[in-house]
């Protein structure tokens, strides 16, 4: 082992309290950096996923759905619920000026009873016109979804090949979606024909709030993509003026609250990271300064034994880098242990869409956190090393300190 490494190693081993304290500070640096970055990144991913998941410019629902806030509960919060309107609205809105793509959705909530495997939100889509759900299903590697087939969200305890029962009707799980960080993760998706069968079954079992609807002619929601030549707000206004029983909502407005919350959480996370770094760096600088003060005589002795100023500086620098690197790794491991298994809990507590980035991004963020912690250690130790470079050996030895 080279000289600076040998003396640094000995100091680290023989001064465990100080070494552990410095490692903990470095761990706090990397933990805050990794934790903050992953949380902000997961929120951004979740929000992006939510935007994609909405997949349309406009959502049209029965007017009472918006007053009861059922729509937001289902779409944004992942709660269960359903509402219906006459299916003929779909034909009428298709003819509206400015409407590009248009597709219906069907909502049904299963119940916690013997007839259903689990209480979940079931969403039906029309495979021929759908442009919101199908891309996600395809992204998950699933093929065609047929009659009485179901695709389940990632968080649901159901897997490909399983059979689920809703209102006494058995459906086969043909695919499980990738994690989206949104309400998709707790929902079940079927085709229009399947969900119509399920609605009919729920009516037959008198487990549907709507007692007298025609299951073959109701829809819950209409998704609209406005064509490029029209303004989204104009189409929204057009629908809201002409269809009093409907409510057209611009999807970006639906998630503006989430966007604001996300911005606030991101700002808070950044402020916390900055505060933690400032405090921890300050303590590290202070610790190294105290250490150089305490060991002034030792450094002076090393000088008379033939250590150059450069060698002394390298010794302190090595100590700082080794401790902060080790602490950085410890902090990263701690961060991953906390964030990855508890991401679901964090998501619930924050009530915001939360989608952790991919493994390669996490590895990159972890490596960066360790690197920056080690650099912080090098910087703080470097300041101390510069101070050591200026010590007057003769003066220290003359004083006999």
Partner 1 sequence: MRIRAEQIKKEFYRKSRGSNIFDAVSTCDFAMDEGTLTVIKGRSGGGKSTLINMLSGILVPTEGKVLYGDIDIYKMNDRELSCYRNSHIGYVPQGKSAIASLTVMENIMLPGILYGFRNEIEAVRLMDKFGISHLRDAMPEELSGGELRRMAIARALIKKPDVLFADEPTGDLDDENTTTVFEILREVADNGTAVLVVTHESDASKYADKVFRMDAGELSEE
- List residues near partner 1 by CB under 8 A: 2-3, 6-7, 10-11, 13-15, 297-298, 300-311, 392-395, 397-398, 400-401
What does the angle CA 153 – CA 155 – CA 158 come to, to the nearest 5 degrees? 70
Q: Looking at beta carbons only, is 128 or 401 nearer to partner 1?
A: 401
Beta strands in 51-206 (DSSP E): 58-62, 85-86, 99-109, 121-125, 149-152, 163-166, 169-176, 187-191
CB nearer to partner 1: give 241 or 305. Answer: 305
Strands of 63-132, DSSP E: 85-86, 99-109, 121-125
For partner 1, give the closer residue by CB, 321 or 366. 321
Least separation in angstroms between residue 51's CB and partner 1 is: 57
- The helix (run of H) or strand (run of E) holding residue 63 is helix 63-67
Instruction: For the CB of residue 298, give the shortest distance to partner 1 in the complex, in Å.
Output: 5
Residue (19 or 191) nearer to partner 1, CB: 19
Q: Which is nearer to partner 1, 43 or 385 (CB)?
A: 385
Task: Give min distance, CB of 297 to partner 1, in A.
Answer: 7
CB nearer partner 1, residue 207 or residue 397 = 397
CB 330 within 8 A of CB 27: yes
Q: Minimal distance in Å, beta carbon 15 to partner 1? A: 7
Kindly state the smallest distance separating residue 23's Cβ from partner 1, in Å.
Answer: 17
Other beta carbons within 10 Å of 2: 10
What is the closest distance, in whole angstroms, from the C-beta atom of residue 381 to partner 1 in the complex? 16
The SS3 assignment for 303 reads: helix
How far apart CA 48 and CA 182 sit, in angstroms, is 10
The answer to whether the beta carbons of residues 132 and 51 sit under 8 Å apart is no
């Amino acid at each position: 082992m080279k000289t600076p490494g040998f003396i640094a190693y000995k100091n680290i081993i023989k001064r465990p309290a100080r070494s552990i304290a410095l490692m903990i500070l470095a761990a706090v640096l990397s933990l805050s950096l990794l934790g903050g970055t992953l949380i902000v990144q997961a929120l951004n991913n979740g929000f992006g996923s939510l935007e994609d998941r909405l997949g349309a410019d406009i959502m049209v629902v029965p007017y009472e759905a918006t007053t009861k806030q059922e729509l937001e509960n289902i779409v944004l919060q992942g709660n269960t619920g359903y509402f219906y309107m006459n299916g003929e609205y779909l034909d009428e809105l298709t003819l509206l000026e400015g409407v590009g793509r248009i597709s219906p959705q069907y909502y049904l909530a299963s119940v916690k009873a013997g007839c259903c495997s689990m209480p979940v939100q079931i969403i039906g889509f029309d495979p021929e016109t759908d442009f919101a759900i199908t891309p996600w299903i395809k992204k998950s590697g699933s093929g065609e979804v047929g009659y009485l087939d179901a695709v389940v969200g990632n968080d649901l305890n159901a897997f490909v090949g399983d059979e689920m029962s809703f209102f006494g009707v058995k459906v086969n799980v043909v695919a499980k979606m990738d994690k989206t960080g949104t309400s998709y993760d707790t929902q079940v998706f079927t085709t229009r024909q399947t969900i119509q069968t399920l609605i009919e079954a729920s009516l037959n079992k008198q487990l549907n709030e709507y007692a007298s609807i025609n299951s073959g002619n109701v829809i819950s929601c209409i998704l609209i993509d406005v064509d490029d030549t029209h303004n989204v707000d104009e189409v929204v206004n057009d629908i809201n003026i002409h269809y009093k029983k409907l409510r057209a909502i611009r999807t970006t407005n639906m998630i503006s609250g989430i966007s604001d919350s996300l911005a606030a959480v991101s700002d808070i996370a950044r402020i916390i990271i900055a505060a933690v770094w400032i405090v921890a760096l300050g303590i590290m600088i202070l610790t190294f300064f105290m250490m150089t003060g305490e060991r002034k005589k030792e450094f002076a002795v090393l000088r008379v034994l033939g250590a150059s100023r450069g060698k002394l500086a390298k010794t302190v620098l090595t100590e700082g880098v080794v401790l902060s690197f080790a602490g950085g790794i410890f902090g990263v491991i701690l961060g991953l242990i906390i964030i990855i298994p508890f991401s679901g809990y964090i998501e619930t507590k924050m009530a915001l869409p939360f989608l952790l980035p991919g493994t390669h991004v996490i590895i990159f963020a972890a490596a960066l956190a360790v690197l920056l912690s080690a650099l912080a250690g090098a910087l703080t130790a470097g300041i101390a090393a510069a101070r050591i470079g200026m010590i007057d050996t003769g003066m220290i030895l003359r004083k006999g300190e």
